[in-house]
Amino acid sequence: MDCTICSSFPMIIRPPRNTICGACFEGIKCALALVSSSELESRLADRKLSNLTAPNKGLGDLVEWIKYMKNVERELNERICFLAGSLTAFADQIHTDILIKPGDGSSISTHRSILATRSGIFKNMLDSDICKAPPQDSTIPIPELTHDELESLLEFLYTGDLPPEKIEKHAYPLSLAAHKFEILYLEKFCERHMLRSLNVNSALDVLEISDICLNQKMKERVLGFIVRNFEEVAFSEKYETFCSKNPHLSVQITRATLAEARSNRRPSGEVCSPKVVGRDHGGVFRI
Protein backbone atom coordinates (compact mmCIF):
# COMPACT_ATOMS: atom_id res chain seq x y z
CA MET A 1 0.00 0.00 0.00
CA ASP A 2 1.25 3.48 -0.83
CA CYS A 3 1.58 5.84 2.13
CA THR A 4 1.06 9.56 2.50
CA ILE A 5 4.03 9.77 4.93
CA CYS A 6 6.84 7.63 3.49
CA SER A 7 5.81 7.65 -0.20
CA SER A 8 8.53 8.57 -2.67
CA PHE A 9 6.01 10.47 -4.82
CA PRO A 10 5.99 14.30 -4.78
CA MET A 11 3.51 15.80 -2.28
CA ILE A 12 1.10 16.84 -5.02
CA ILE A 13 0.41 13.29 -6.22
CA ARG A 14 0.62 11.50 -2.89
CA PRO A 15 -2.32 9.41 -1.67
CA PRO A 16 -5.00 11.00 0.58
CA ARG A 17 -3.90 12.18 4.01
CA ASN A 18 -5.64 9.30 5.78
CA THR A 19 -3.70 6.67 3.79
CA ILE A 20 -0.82 5.38 5.89
CA CYS A 21 1.22 2.20 5.63
CA GLY A 22 1.52 -0.38 8.42
CA ALA A 23 5.17 0.47 9.16
CA CYS A 24 4.45 4.20 9.62
CA PHE A 25 1.33 3.44 11.68
CA GLU A 26 3.22 1.11 14.05
CA GLY A 27 6.20 3.48 14.23
CA ILE A 28 4.03 6.44 15.22
CA LYS A 29 2.11 4.34 17.75
CA CYS A 30 5.38 3.22 19.38
CA ALA A 31 6.78 6.78 19.43
CA LEU A 32 3.60 8.12 21.08
CA ALA A 33 3.61 5.26 23.58
CA LEU A 34 7.20 6.19 24.47
CA VAL A 35 6.20 9.81 25.12
CA SER A 36 3.26 8.58 27.21
CA SER A 37 5.34 6.34 29.45
CA SER A 38 4.92 7.33 33.07
CA GLU A 39 8.58 8.10 33.64
CA LEU A 40 8.75 10.51 30.73
CA GLU A 41 5.43 12.10 31.71
CA SER A 42 6.73 12.91 35.17
CA ARG A 43 9.86 14.48 33.68
CA LEU A 44 7.75 16.57 31.36
CA ALA A 45 5.55 17.64 34.27
CA ASP A 46 8.71 18.65 36.18
CA ARG A 47 9.73 20.78 33.23
CA LYS A 48 6.21 22.28 33.14
CA LEU A 49 5.58 21.12 29.59
CA SER A 50 1.94 20.61 30.55
CA ASN A 51 0.71 20.48 26.96
CA LEU A 52 2.69 17.26 26.56
CA THR A 53 0.98 15.59 29.48
CA ALA A 54 -2.52 16.17 28.14
CA PRO A 55 -4.50 12.94 27.52
CA ASN A 56 -4.80 13.42 23.72
CA LYS A 57 -1.35 13.21 22.28
CA GLY A 58 -0.59 13.56 18.60
CA LEU A 59 2.37 13.96 16.29
CA GLY A 60 2.58 17.67 17.22
CA ASP A 61 3.34 16.58 20.78
CA LEU A 62 5.96 14.21 19.46
CA VAL A 63 7.76 17.09 17.74
CA GLU A 64 7.69 19.05 21.03
CA TRP A 65 9.11 16.02 22.78
CA ILE A 66 11.96 15.72 20.26
CA LYS A 67 12.76 19.45 20.71
CA TYR A 68 12.76 18.93 24.47
CA MET A 69 15.14 15.98 24.16
CA LYS A 70 17.48 17.99 21.91
CA ASN A 71 17.62 20.65 24.65
CA VAL A 72 18.35 17.99 27.27
CA GLU A 73 21.17 16.68 25.06
CA ARG A 74 22.64 20.17 24.66
CA GLU A 75 22.50 20.79 28.43
CA LEU A 76 24.13 17.43 29.15
CA ASN A 77 26.90 18.10 26.63
CA GLU A 78 27.58 21.46 28.30
CA ARG A 79 27.70 19.76 31.69
CA ILE A 80 30.09 17.08 30.40
CA CYS A 81 32.39 19.79 28.97
CA PHE A 82 32.35 21.55 32.34
CA LEU A 83 33.14 18.37 34.30
CA ALA A 84 35.83 17.32 31.82
CA GLY A 85 37.88 20.28 33.07
CA SER A 86 39.26 17.97 35.75
CA LEU A 87 40.93 15.94 33.00
CA THR A 88 43.00 19.02 32.18
CA ALA A 89 44.25 19.00 35.78
CA PHE A 90 45.35 15.40 35.25
CA ALA A 91 46.86 15.97 31.79
CA ASP A 92 48.76 19.04 32.99
CA GLN A 93 49.60 17.41 36.36
CA ILE A 94 48.18 20.33 38.33
CA HIS A 95 48.37 19.77 42.12
CA THR A 96 48.58 15.99 41.80
CA ASP A 97 49.18 14.38 45.18
CA ILE A 98 49.63 10.63 44.78
CA LEU A 99 51.44 8.17 42.52
CA ILE A 100 50.10 4.97 41.03
CA LYS A 101 52.57 2.31 39.95
CA PRO A 102 51.56 0.00 37.09
CA GLY A 103 53.10 -3.41 36.35
CA ASP A 104 55.43 -1.86 33.80
CA GLY A 105 56.80 1.58 33.07
CA SER A 106 56.85 4.65 35.26
CA SER A 107 54.39 5.69 37.97
CA ILE A 108 51.58 8.09 37.12
CA SER A 109 50.72 11.12 39.26
CA THR A 110 47.06 11.64 39.98
CA HIS A 111 44.65 13.21 42.50
CA ARG A 112 43.58 11.51 45.73
CA SER A 113 40.20 13.22 45.61
CA ILE A 114 39.36 11.68 42.22
CA LEU A 115 40.39 8.18 43.33
CA ALA A 116 38.50 8.45 46.62
CA THR A 117 35.28 9.71 45.05
CA ARG A 118 35.22 7.14 42.26
CA SER A 119 36.03 4.01 44.28
CA GLY A 120 35.35 2.99 47.87
CA ILE A 121 38.34 0.63 47.70
CA PHE A 122 40.67 3.47 46.71
CA LYS A 123 39.16 5.59 49.47
CA ASN A 124 39.98 2.92 52.08
CA MET A 125 43.51 2.60 50.73
CA LEU A 126 43.98 6.37 50.89
CA ASP A 127 42.67 6.45 54.46
CA SER A 128 45.35 3.96 55.50
CA ASP A 129 48.63 5.09 57.04
CA ILE A 130 50.68 4.05 54.01
CA CYS A 131 49.03 6.72 51.87
CA LYS A 132 49.25 9.47 54.48
CA ALA A 133 52.93 10.01 53.68
CA PRO A 134 53.92 13.11 51.65
CA PRO A 135 52.82 12.91 47.99
CA GLN A 136 56.27 12.03 46.67
CA ASP A 137 56.39 9.00 49.02
CA SER A 138 52.80 7.83 48.52
CA THR A 139 52.39 5.16 45.89
CA ILE A 140 49.56 2.75 45.21
CA PRO A 141 50.76 -0.31 43.25
CA ILE A 142 48.45 -1.82 40.63
CA PRO A 143 50.77 -4.47 39.14
CA GLU A 144 48.03 -6.20 37.12
CA LEU A 145 47.68 -3.17 34.83
CA THR A 146 50.19 -2.03 32.24
CA HIS A 147 51.09 1.66 31.96
CA ASP A 148 48.72 2.06 28.99
CA GLU A 149 45.84 0.34 30.77
CA LEU A 150 46.37 2.38 33.92
CA GLU A 151 46.31 5.62 31.91
CA SER A 152 42.98 4.56 30.40
CA LEU A 153 41.62 3.66 33.84
CA LEU A 154 42.56 7.11 35.16
CA GLU A 155 41.15 8.85 32.09
CA PHE A 156 37.85 7.09 32.74
CA LEU A 157 37.88 8.09 36.42
CA TYR A 158 38.26 11.75 35.39
CA THR A 159 35.78 11.82 32.49
CA GLY A 160 33.43 8.84 32.82
CA ASP A 161 34.18 7.98 29.20
CA LEU A 162 36.84 6.54 26.90
CA PRO A 163 37.47 6.90 23.17
CA PRO A 164 36.32 3.82 21.19
CA GLU A 165 39.88 2.72 20.36
CA LYS A 166 40.88 2.67 24.05
CA ILE A 167 37.88 0.71 25.29
CA GLU A 168 38.32 -1.67 22.35
CA LYS A 169 41.95 -2.25 23.34
CA HIS A 170 41.59 -2.39 27.13
CA ALA A 171 38.04 -3.62 27.83
CA TYR A 172 39.12 -6.88 29.53
CA PRO A 173 41.75 -5.55 31.99
CA LEU A 174 39.59 -2.50 32.73
CA SER A 175 36.62 -4.72 33.44
CA LEU A 176 38.66 -6.73 35.94
CA ALA A 177 40.08 -3.56 37.52
CA ALA A 178 36.57 -2.08 37.78
CA HIS A 179 35.43 -5.21 39.60
CA LYS A 180 38.44 -5.22 41.93
CA PHE A 181 38.13 -1.53 42.83
CA GLU A 182 34.30 -1.55 42.81
CA ILE A 183 33.89 1.07 40.10
CA LEU A 184 30.39 0.05 39.06
CA TYR A 185 29.99 2.61 36.28
CA LEU A 186 33.17 1.38 34.59
CA GLU A 187 31.98 -2.22 34.94
CA LYS A 188 28.75 -1.33 33.17
CA PHE A 189 30.65 0.66 30.54
CA CYS A 190 32.90 -2.34 29.78
CA GLU A 191 29.95 -4.75 29.86
CA ARG A 192 28.03 -2.69 27.28
CA HIS A 193 31.07 -2.61 25.02
CA MET A 194 31.81 -6.34 25.34
CA LEU A 195 28.20 -7.36 24.66
CA ARG A 196 27.87 -4.95 21.72
CA SER A 197 31.01 -6.34 20.09
CA LEU A 198 30.47 -9.97 21.10
CA ASN A 199 31.60 -12.44 18.43
CA VAL A 200 32.98 -15.96 18.09
CA ASN A 201 36.54 -14.76 18.77
CA SER A 202 35.71 -12.79 21.91
CA ALA A 203 32.97 -14.97 23.45
CA LEU A 204 35.25 -17.21 25.56
CA ASP A 205 37.21 -14.24 26.95
CA VAL A 206 33.98 -12.42 27.82
CA LEU A 207 32.57 -15.55 29.46
CA GLU A 208 35.71 -15.87 31.59
CA ILE A 209 35.51 -12.21 32.63
CA SER A 210 31.81 -12.44 33.47
CA ASP A 211 32.63 -15.44 35.66
CA ILE A 212 35.48 -13.69 37.49
CA CYS A 213 33.39 -10.53 37.96
CA LEU A 214 30.38 -12.57 39.18
CA ASN A 215 28.25 -10.88 36.51
CA GLN A 216 25.50 -13.46 36.13
CA LYS A 217 23.44 -11.44 33.65
CA MET A 218 26.34 -11.02 31.25
CA LYS A 219 27.35 -14.65 31.74
CA GLU A 220 23.91 -15.87 30.69
CA ARG A 221 23.96 -13.65 27.59
CA VAL A 222 27.42 -14.88 26.55
CA LEU A 223 26.66 -18.52 27.30
CA GLY A 224 23.53 -18.24 25.13
CA PHE A 225 25.66 -16.82 22.33
CA ILE A 226 28.23 -19.63 22.68
CA VAL A 227 25.49 -22.27 22.60
CA ARG A 228 24.05 -20.76 19.40
CA ASN A 229 27.52 -20.70 17.80
CA PHE A 230 28.97 -23.75 19.51
CA GLU A 231 30.43 -25.39 16.42
CA GLU A 232 32.55 -22.34 15.54
CA VAL A 233 33.56 -21.75 19.16
CA ALA A 234 34.48 -25.40 19.82
CA PHE A 235 36.74 -25.55 16.76
CA SER A 236 38.40 -22.20 17.43
CA GLU A 237 42.08 -22.14 18.37
CA LYS A 238 41.56 -20.93 21.92
CA TYR A 239 38.88 -23.43 22.98
CA GLU A 240 41.30 -26.12 24.20
CA THR A 241 43.34 -23.65 26.28
CA PHE A 242 40.11 -22.14 27.63
CA CYS A 243 38.82 -25.57 28.73
CA SER A 244 42.01 -26.52 30.56
CA LYS A 245 42.09 -23.14 32.28
CA ASN A 246 38.36 -23.02 33.09
CA PRO A 247 37.08 -26.61 33.51
CA HIS A 248 33.97 -25.47 35.40
CA LEU A 249 33.00 -23.13 32.54
CA SER A 250 33.57 -25.79 29.91
CA VAL A 251 31.23 -28.09 31.86
CA GLN A 252 28.62 -25.32 31.89
CA ILE A 253 29.00 -24.80 28.13
CA THR A 254 28.57 -28.53 27.50
CA ARG A 255 25.49 -28.78 29.71
CA ALA A 256 23.92 -25.66 28.22
CA THR A 257 24.53 -26.97 24.69
CA LEU A 258 23.00 -30.35 25.51
CA ALA A 259 20.04 -28.68 27.20
CA GLU A 260 19.49 -26.55 24.10
CA ALA A 261 19.71 -29.60 21.82
CA ARG A 262 17.21 -31.47 24.04
CA SER A 263 14.88 -28.49 23.98
CA ASN A 264 15.02 -28.36 20.17
CA ARG A 265 14.08 -32.05 19.98
CA ARG A 266 10.85 -31.52 21.98
CA PRO A 267 7.62 -31.83 19.97
CA SER A 268 6.28 -28.40 19.00
CA GLY A 269 3.63 -27.06 21.36
CA GLU A 270 5.19 -28.61 24.43
CA VAL A 271 5.83 -25.91 26.97
CA CYS A 272 9.25 -26.12 28.54
CA SER A 273 10.27 -24.29 31.64
CA PRO A 274 13.77 -22.83 32.09
CA LYS A 275 16.20 -25.62 32.79
CA VAL A 276 18.77 -25.61 35.53
CA VAL A 277 22.03 -26.45 33.81
CA GLY A 278 24.48 -25.65 36.52
CA ARG A 279 25.22 -23.77 39.65
CA ASP A 280 27.77 -21.07 40.02
CA HIS A 281 28.81 -18.91 42.94
CA GLY A 282 25.73 -20.00 44.82
CA GLY A 283 23.36 -18.98 42.02
CA VAL A 284 21.28 -21.24 39.82
CA PHE A 285 22.28 -20.97 36.19
CA ARG A 286 19.47 -21.24 33.65
CA ILE A 287 19.00 -20.83 29.94
Q: Which residues bind Zn ion (CB under 5 A)?
A: 3, 5-6, 21, 24
| Residue closer to Zn ion, measured from CB, 14 or 169 | 14
| Contact (CB, 8 A) for 253 and 230 | yes
| Residue closer to Zn ion, measured from CB, 7 or 139 | 7
| Residue closer to Zn ion, measured from CB, 6 or 76 | 6
- We find the least distance from the C-beta atom of residue 19 to Zn ion, in angstroms, to be 9
| Residue closer to Zn ion, measured from CB, 24 or 195 | 24
Q: Is the dihedral of CA 242, 243, 244, 247 positive or negative?
A: positive
Residue 115 CB contacts under 8 Å (≥ 6 apart), including other chains: 98, 122, 123, 126, 140, 157
Identify the helix (H) or strand (E) that includes residue 205.
Answer: helix 203-212
- We find the least distance from the C-beta atom of residue 90 to Zn ion, in angstroms, to be 51
- We find the least distance from the C-beta atom of residue 199 to Zn ion, in angstroms, to be 34
- We find the least distance from the C-beta atom of residue 238 to Zn ion, in angstroms, to be 47
The three-class DSSP label of residue 25 is: helix
- We find the least distance from the C-beta atom of residue 3 to Zn ion, in angstroms, to be 3
Query: Would you give the end-to-end CA distance of the chain in angstroms?
Result: 41
DSSP secondary structure, 26-76, as one string: HHHHHHHHHHHSHHHHHHHHHTT-GGGGSSS--HHHHHHHHHHHHHHHHHH
| Residue closer to Zn ion, measured from CB, 21 or 32 | 21
Residue whose Cβ sits closest to Zn ion: 3
